[in-house]
Chain A
Amino acid sequence: MCAMKEKRLKTEKEPYVATTDSCKLCAPLGACLAFKGVESSVPFLHGSQGCATYMRRYVISHFREPVDIASSSLGEKHAIYGGGPNLKLGLKNVMSKYHCGLIGVATTCLTETIGDDTSRLVKEFKDEFSDVMASHGNPSIVNVSTPSYAGSHVDGFQSAVRAIVDQLASNVQAGENTLNLFPGFVSPADIRYLKEIVHDFGLNPVVLPDISETLDGPAAAEYEKIPSGGTPIASIKGMGTALSSIEFGRCLANSMSASNILEDRFNVHSRRLGTPIGLRETDIFMNALEEITCRKTPVKYELERGRLIDSYVDGHKYVSGKRAVIYGDPDMVVGLASFLTEIGIKPVLCATGAKCQHFKTAIKAVTEEILDEPPEVLDNVDFFDIEETAEKMSPDVLLGSSKGYKLARKWNIPLVRLGFPIHDRFGAQRICQLGYKGTQDLFDMIVNAVIQATQDRSPIGYTYI
């Protein structure tokens, strides 16, 4: 039973059946984002044309980059007689125009409900059109089941990452000293920084998915059909030969873990860590890298860590005792909750739109060392629920996607925009919030947001704060 329903039973109020202003998106969108992080890959939705177009629009508004998502564009007759022929035609067309290395096929509510067996259809395609496949360099086709009526975009993302590993990974050596890193859905800037850290430990990172260039690319002289970057397919195939795997996500269910597959099949040791936001979660990540490499953390990061602690001290009084509401994808919320408690901000409400059975335990695990009483934790909620619950808590600051702006405006408190989507600000793809450096940026942002709110409300107009 989800936390929201539990709470509702306690207050004996009939829960609202409808979702008002959703705090989650549907599973196929998450799958498309994961496929965008593989080199030379085209996400492909098996469903009606609208899904692909809507998701493209939604994702483009956040990243401000071209995002092509192909569709089998099913019409009424396909809904009745099956979508197989259009799926196959679509696959052929994508191969002929995009010259891609991988097509990531995700299902939608339509094709799941009409009973298309997509795995079988993809197999059939590979047999029937082996000549077409060969003439286009035998691109990989990965398929994942993502009915929009089950789970959220977070589940879709994780399912796609898992499917990529499940269907492609092998023990064919593709590089020396490689480390598999499954960061979850984080920003392109975060991924760039993570790769830098892993490199500095003397390892070759294989980050899946790697959206650092595909969703934050440079200006181009000629239009790239598929943006450069992404996890090389050869590297994914070599994941079974890595020294070790690190997977972020305290909320990730074992059954959804990609690193577990590698451990089971190829005996690649897997470490499941929290998303490294804040000092303590980053320490755990750096310790893991020290263990794997038997090397000390490079001085560069020791300095970043030292500066971060120095700033915690310099800034602590501005934020001490402030009350924050955090909402968004479960693992980001857990990371933020961990970080906020470190700096003396109380996360009074931690909320996610996804259904997530490990959410509450994870929040408790990262906050109990410092907080006397645990924060209110809700999963499977919408913005109506968040508003209703948070209103009584008189929060000082909101942290989460841009979709909470209406609440921030209503309560006249700052919203620190993090996660996905950010549709009303610039530079979302460049927000770095992981590691010591990302936490530093985050800390500065939050302190300044609180200072600005105080300054704006003051009749004095202080010029020194």
Chain B
Amino acid sequence: MTNTIFAERKDQVHRKGEEPFQMACDKESLAGAVSQRACVFCGSRVVLYPITDALHLVHGPIGCAAYTWDIRGALSSGPELHRHSYSTDLQESDVIFGGEDKLYRALTQLIERINPKAAFVYSTCIVGIIGDDLSGVCKKVEREKGIPVIPVESEGFKGNKRAGYNAACRAMFQLVGTGPIDDISPLSVNILGDFNLAGEIWIVREYFERMGVKVVANITGDGRVDDLRRAHGAALNLVQCSGSTIDLAKMMKDEYKIPFLRVSYFGVEDMADSLYKVADFFKDLDPEIMERTKALVRDELSELYPKLKEYRKALKGKKAAIYVGGAFKAFSLVKAFRLLGMTVELVGSQTGTEEDYKELHEITDPGTIIVDDSNPLELSSFLEEKDVDIFVGGVKERPIAYKLGVGFCDHNHERKEALEGFVGMLNFAKEVYSTVMSPVWRFTPRKQAISSKPQEMDVCHERKAIKN
């Protein structure tokens, strides 16, 4: 076990209860350690990508655009420009002579062809090196085409995913404040940090509707350029996903005095808490909002709890491991597993902050491993040591679990099942059940090895019986 962890990474792994809590994080990934992290470009791309009526043009070699083509299930109720992959596909000659002219021509042609409401132009590693004047080209095209053309400073090597979130927020902030806000209700919010995977933002919007709260802009799931332009008219920003959009909320607070609340729509507790926080915020404007919200939560729970019962019974005492991108999801998952009667043996994230890890330390049980910026060797050894029944993560974590004969739940952005809201808790329970309780595990070598000793004795016993 200790052999698996690099000396340089020792302070990024903690076992609760063994020593005073102190954890290092927000470090550059260690060379050769096979980090599960992506890059700055990835951070920007995933945050902005669900804006459905914008052109997203990646200025770089083909890979950056190809690997991010339609990878996430951010649903749209209208336009689907975001599901295409546009790239300047830089070639050797562009690298030598500069890519500005190619970018200019690519942009103008695409804008003419697909008629987007705005364009985001992503910088990649190489653009940062060859020194193309991205914002100069963007300004020129903006003047000529009459739509916002916004450079995204997302050179891959300039930090990790979180730096990319920041670049995306700065890009979006250029749109905020440019649209009319006269007809916006005083009981209104922007939803930040939800990407409408499997239609989740629609579930949450429906709750707000029932509470009497209007949503101005989805940022960014099922997002629209015109909504972003009027986002400064909302009374309150609700920020989910701690890393990705908090910077935008801070910018809007400074510039437009819009307060923000941290929320989470995962799990019963956090979902209800989030709705209550919103109701509390608007209670002076609408004295009955809290009653309506309580009724909503009551209705939803009275429908949910009887359905959860069977799953809880089956899953009680099972063990879970969690490794996700942002730590906020981990908080909600720890609570959600607790609701199902399960224990969490491992919890980690790619880009958690010191505060995040403190909070994880507080809400987990003694013995739980807490880890920052982990890698396949560590994760596999933790799974083996803790002998868990399910691992929650993304695509890169899935084969680690399956190879070891451990159940898996995809809580990344490729999921097709809505996991947010009260109904999301039920879907989560179903998914956990469907993997943990599957009969296939008993055939896997690791499980057979664990249970082989008594079986061997049985066999011997029978053989003896036959001989006799």
Chain A residues close to B by CB (< 8 Å): 14, 16-22, 24-26, 28-29, 44, 47-58, 60-61, 64-76, 78-79, 86-87, 89-94, 96-98, 108-110, 113-114, 147-150, 152, 217-225, 403
Per the 8 Å Cβ criterion, residues 365-388 of B in contact with A are 376-377, 380-381, 383-384
Nearest-CB distance from A247 to chain B (Å)? 26
Known: A20-B84, A22-B87, A48-B125. A56 touches B445 (CB 8 A): no
Q: Is the CB of B403 within 8 A of A219?
A: yes
| Choice from A19, A71, A76 contacting B34 with Cβ under 8 Å | A71
| Choice from B6, B396, B448 contacting A57 with Cβ under 8 Å | B396
Closest 4 interchain pairs by CB? Answer: A50-B39, A26-B63, A93-B32, A90-B32
Nearest-CB distance from B240 to chain A (Å)? 23
The answer to whether the Cβ of B105 comes within 8 Å of any Cβ in the partner chain is: yes
Q: What are the residues of chain A within 8 A of B40 when measuring CB–CB?
A: 50
Bound complex: CA A276 to CA B98 (Å): 42
Q: Is the CB of B61 within 8 A of A148?
A: yes
The answer to whether the Cβ of B400 comes within 8 Å of any Cβ in the partner chain is: yes
Q: What are the residues of chain B within 8 A of A26 when measuring CB–CB?
A: 61-63, 66
Bound complex: CA A218 to CA B444 (Å): 10
Known: A53-B37, A60-B395, A66-B399. A109 touches B62 (CB 8 A): no
| Choice from B130, B156, B444 contacting A219 with Cβ under 8 Å | B444
Q: Is the CB of B62 within 8 A of A97?
A: no
Name 6 interchain pairs, CB-CB below 8 A, sorted by A: A16-B106, A22-B89, A70-B31, A75-B28, A113-B129, A219-B445
Known: A18-B88, A49-B37, A76-B157. A68 touches B67 (CB 8 A): no
Q: Is the CB of B6 within 8 A of A93?
A: yes
Q: Is the CB of A22 within 8 A of B32?
A: no
Q: Is the CB of A18 within 8 A of B4?
A: no
Q: What are the residues of chain A within 8 A of B159 when measuring CB–CB?
A: 75-76
Q: What are the residues of chain B within 8 A of A114 when measuring CB–CB?
A: 129
Chain B residues close to A by CB (< 8 Å): 4, 6, 28-42, 57, 60-69, 71, 84-92, 94-95, 102, 105-107, 109-110, 113, 124-126, 128-130, 156-160, 376-377, 380-381, 383-384, 394-396, 398-400, 402-405, 444-446, 448-449
Known: A20-B84, A26-B61, A219-B445. A53 touches B396 (CB 8 A): yes
Q: Is the CB of B377 within 8 A of A60?
A: no
| Choice from A20, A89, A96 contacting B85 with Cβ under 8 Å | A20
Bound complex: CA A48 to CA B384 (Å): 30
Chain B: which residue is nearest A52 at the CB level? B34
| Choice from B86, B88, B157, B403 contacting A223 with Cβ under 8 Å | B403
Bound complex: CA A320 to CA B243 (Å): 57
Nearest-CB distance from B416 to chain A (Å)? 11
Bound complex: CA A264 to CA B60 (Å): 38
Q: Is the CB of B157 within 8 A of A54?
A: no
Q: Is the CB of B396 within 8 A of A54?
A: no
- Assuming A19-B86, A65-B403, A219-B403, what are 10 further A-B pairs, CB within 8 angstroms? A18-B107, A20-B110, A22-B69, A54-B63, A61-B395, A67-B399, A70-B32, A109-B95, A219-B445, A220-B403
Bound complex: CA A152 to CA B87 (Å): 14
Q: What are the residues of chain B within 8 A of A223 when measuring CB–CB?
A: 380-381, 383-384, 400, 403-404
Bound complex: CA A167 to CA B395 (Å): 34
Most A-side CB within 10 Å, residue of B34, B62, B68, B384: B34
Nearest-CB distance from A233 to chain B (Å)? 20
| Choice from B38, B109, B128 contacting A50 with Cβ under 8 Å | B38
Q: Is the CB of A50 within 8 A of B445?
A: no
Q: What are the residues of chain B within 8 A of A67 when measuring CB–CB?
A: 399
Known: A26-B63, A148-B62. A93 touches B95 (CB 8 A): no
Chain B: which residue is nearest A23 at the CB level? B66
Chain B: which residue is nearest A53 at the CB level? B38
Nearest-CB distance from A121 to chain B (Å)? 13
Q: What are the residues of chain A within 8 A of B377 when measuring CB–CB?
A: 97-98, 225
Chain B: which residue is nearest A65 at the CB level? B399
Q: Is the CB of B399 within 8 A of A22?
A: no
Bound complex: CA A456 to CA B134 (Å): 50
Nearest-CB distance from B33 to chain A (Å)? 6
Q: What are the residues of chain A within 8 A of B89 when measuring CB–CB?
A: 18-19, 22
Nearest-CB distance from A228 to chain B (Å)? 12
Q: Is the CB of A47 within 8 A of B125?
A: yes
Known: A20-B86, A26-B62. A53 touches B36 (CB 8 A): yes
Known: A19-B87, A19-B89. A91 touches B32 (CB 8 A): yes
Most A-side CB within 10 Å, residue of B65, B88, B94: B65
